Amino acid sequence: MRDEAWRIPLRERPWYQRATAWVRAVVGRATPDWVRSLSIRVVTAFIAIPSVLAVLWFGGWVAFGAAVLILAGGMVELHKMMAKMGYHPLGWLSFFAGIALLVGAMFPSAHDAAYEVTISVLVLGSLSWLLVRRPRLGTALVDWALTLVMTLYLAWPLSYLLLLRGMTPGAGTPHFWWLLVLFFGEWAFDSAAFFTGRFFGKHLLAPTTSPNKTWEGVVGGTLLTIAAVYVFTRPIAPAVAWYHVLVLGVLVSFAAMLGDLAESFIKRQADVKDSGTFFRGHGGVLDRIDSLLFVCVVVYFYTTLVLHFA
């Protein structure tokens, strides 16, 4: 009986047929439209990644200039989505308050005072302006709240990015390597979640907010993020315990996931697919920095408060 079983051709064996069917089903998810979208993403990434690394290498006021451009693009996209929902926050005030936060981050010894003054002026100034220029009720109160939120959502996290980078240019400073941990950790999560979710995703993460994201994508993204954090943490602090690498990798993944879902929530409210079209194949500015905004804060506070890096 056993000899007869071994004579069955490989292609006719049940386990082989099941495995083949599974592989075909997985490969079949790579539809022509998805492959076309992937090719555009790859081309855009080949242009964007070297540009980002160059900015990180220089740091200082070069990084400040890049942050201002990102802030401006994000503010425009947010304002358009708010207008689509019938709201009209004071975008100009949000933008200039955001620049003030970024300037404060360039002077670490005075950034606490700069933050306090900026937030105070933003809160009181925006409300005063609306009281004078829009005395009728309508959406004025919501516009005031959105004026504050736009600054806090975009400029506040970007200011921590500048604080983490510092002024010293070049790769000879730990500041540069911590930014590599941040960016490559976020890119690792985004890329791994994109592929894992596409080919193996079955269990939806947030069907209402973002129907294309799955738990399988989160797991795949987290594993690659931990690996990326490990690789780029070694040159900075080889003595850092393995559990710090693990915790930081998980926190980066969690922050990236929340940042992505948060922006998806805003887009759902505004009923738009992408925040903009600045990055071909990647959507708008917000579509590319949504995860980064949350990851900046996590990496900054973990490295300064837990690892005591300054």
| Residue pLDDT, tens place only, 96-133 | 999 999 999 998 877 788 888 888 888 888 888 887 77
| Domain extents in the chain | 60-167, 171-310
Residue 255: its pLDDT value, please?
A: 96
> Interhelix angle for 285-301 vs 60-84, to 10°?
120
pLDDT digits (tens, 9 = 90+) for 62-86: 999 999 999 999 999 999 999 988 8
3-state secondary structure of 85: coil
> Interhelix angle for 140-165 vs 111-133, to 10°?
160
**Is the per-residue pLDDT at 22 higher than 60?**
no
pLDDT digits (tens, 9 = 90+) for 196-215: 888 887 888 888 888 888 99
Q: Which residues pair with 204 in a beta bridge?
A: 214
Note the pTM of the prediction, 2 decimals. Answer: 0.86
Residue 71: its pLDDT value, please?
A: 95
Residue 1: its pLDDT value, please?
A: 45
pLDDT-derived band at 189, boundaries 50, 70, 90: very high
Question: How far, CA to CA in Å, does 17 sit from each of 14, 39, 126, 129, 303?
Answer: 5, 32, 66, 70, 50
Look-up of token digits 């990496």: 299
* Mean pLDDT value across residues 262-279: 82
